[in-house]
Amino acid sequence: MADFYEALTDKLIRFIGAQAVFFTASACAQGRINLSPKGMDCFRVLGPTRCAYLDLTGSGNETAAHLKQDGRLTIMFTSFARTPLILRLYGQGSVIRPHHPEWTDLAPHFPDEPGSRQIIVIDIDSIQTSCGYGVPEMTFQRERPTLRKWAEKKGPDGITSYQKEKNQRSIDGFDTGL
């Protein structure tokens, strides 16, 4: 029931574009495995083996810490619509921050969101689809406005202070590079 691909096809790219949520998974050799849901129209296909997402300031910065140590990243999309499908992108991730040379090229692909922290890029090694028959059907209602409102209320200086306090170390104490 699983199929593997070396590159994203047009059909898989359309599937990605139709999903309102995706999940990221990362880990270091030691410590906890991180699995995070993402939304807010922040994922972009940059090419058949390269994708990126805009990472917004949140309560932790686990993915950045894990990528700094290990580099492995998995991104998963799953259909909650009538036609089931699970899509996994396996690859090497990198963290691009505003001072990085690639930021200028990557940032225009994304909406200007308050609280933008970094762009996570995945260079894909392998792609897998599977049936998704066990995933329930659900209907997308709307994006939550909470994170955007929180970041707007904090403002740029407040976001910077928050990142210094909460986003420089992972929950296992690993440096995030922020």
Q: Indicate which CATH number applies to the domain containing 99.
A: 2.30.110.10
- How many whole angstroms separate alpha carbon 172 and alpha carbon 178? 16
Is residue 19 domain-resident?
yes
Whether 21 is covered by a domain: the verdict is: yes
Q: What is the mean pLDDT of residues 76-86?
A: 95
Domain-located, residue 116: yes
Q: So what's the pLDDT on residue 118?
A: 96
pLDDT above 80 (res 111)? yes
Confidence (pLDDT) at 11:
97
pLDDT at 63: 96
Mean pLDDT of 2-14: 97
Looking at residue 76, what is its pLDDT? 98
Check residue 109 and give its pLDDT: 97
Exposed (0-12), middle (13-18) or buried (19+): which is 137, by Cβ within 10 Å? Answer: exposed
Residue pointed to by tokens 């260079």: 123
For the cut 90, the answer to whether the pLDDT of residue 1 exceeds it is: no
Q: Report whether pLDDT(97) > 90.
A: yes
Number of domain units in the chain: 1
Tell me the average pLDDT across 12-32.
96
**Which parts of 2-145 fold into alpha helices (H)?**
10-17, 62-69, 103-106
| The pair of three-digit structure tokens given for residue 23, joined into one six-digit string | 């999940």
Q: What pLDDT score does 34 carry?
A: 96
Best CA proximity match to 59, nearest among 37, 28, 75, 33:
37
Residue 88 in any domain: the answer is: yes
Task: Give the helix/strand (H/E) hosting 122.
Answer: strand 116-130
Q: Provide the residue range defining the domain that includes 17.
A: 3-166
Predicted local distance difference test score (pLDDT) of residue 13: 98
Asked if 90 contacts 125 with a C-beta cutoff of 8 angstroms, the reply is: yes
Across all residues in the chain, what is the average pLDDT? 95
pLDDT of 132 strictly over 80 = yes
